[in-house]
Structures are given as structure tokens and as C-alpha cells.
Amino acid sequence: MIGSMSSATAPAEMLDGFATIMSELHPAGFRSMVRALAEADLRDVLPRVDVPTLLLYGDEDIRAPLNVAEDFTPRSPRRGSSWCPASVT
């Protein structure tokens, strides 16, 4: 699962730190959180977000690929968006 939450070029020390954080979560709580996030479709909420928002996407993003950015960005009225190449860590 850790591998699907980062790019293939992520530094080992970053992955190790992330794995440590993930190991400290209670498994049942983590499963509940993941299910809730996977099932949430908040696109209709985005137009009501009334604070400046920056949406960041990476070109190796597995969980929110560029087509998600292209769908979310126009729905967010006070937004900016940025695409980050894989070489940025």
C-alpha cells in the first residue's frame, strides 16, 4: 500500500518515514478512514469553498491523476492549481 501512495522515484528515507507513521495507526481506524475517503465524492461541495485554495498534483500521482485535477480545478472558485514534475520532491 505504501508504494501506491507515492511516486516510484520517492526517496527511500521519505518512504521509511511514511511507513513508520502508517504503522502507528490503528488498523481498524485506518480502514475506516480509507473507506470514507474512497467513497466520498465532494465535487458538489467545491463551488462553496470560500477560501483561497491551491490544488497540487504530481505527474506520477496514482490516487489523484491529472484528469482529477482537470475535473476539480474549474469547480473550485477561489483556486489556483499547479502540476509538479516527478523530479520535484
Is the same domain home to 46 and 35? no
Range 25-37 average pLDDT = 88
Tell me which of 46 and 87 has the higher pLDDT: 46
The pLDDT value recorded for residue 28 is: 93
pTM for the whole thing? 0.50
Residues 55 and 80 in one domain: yes
Please state, as a whole number, how many other Cβ atoms lie within 10 Å of the Cβ of residue 51. Answer: 6
What span, in angstroms and rounded, lies between the C-alpha atoms of 69 and 9? 21
58 and 22, same domain (yes or no): no
What percentage of the chain has pLDDT greater than the value 90? 8
Q: Are residues 74 and 64 in the same domain?
A: yes
Let me know whether 56 and 88 are in one domain. Answer: yes
Say how many domains are in the chain: 2
% the chain with pLDDT above 70:
85
Question: Does 34 lie in the same domain as 3?
Answer: yes
Q: What is the domain extent for residue 22?
A: 1-40
Q: 71 and 82 share a domain? A: yes
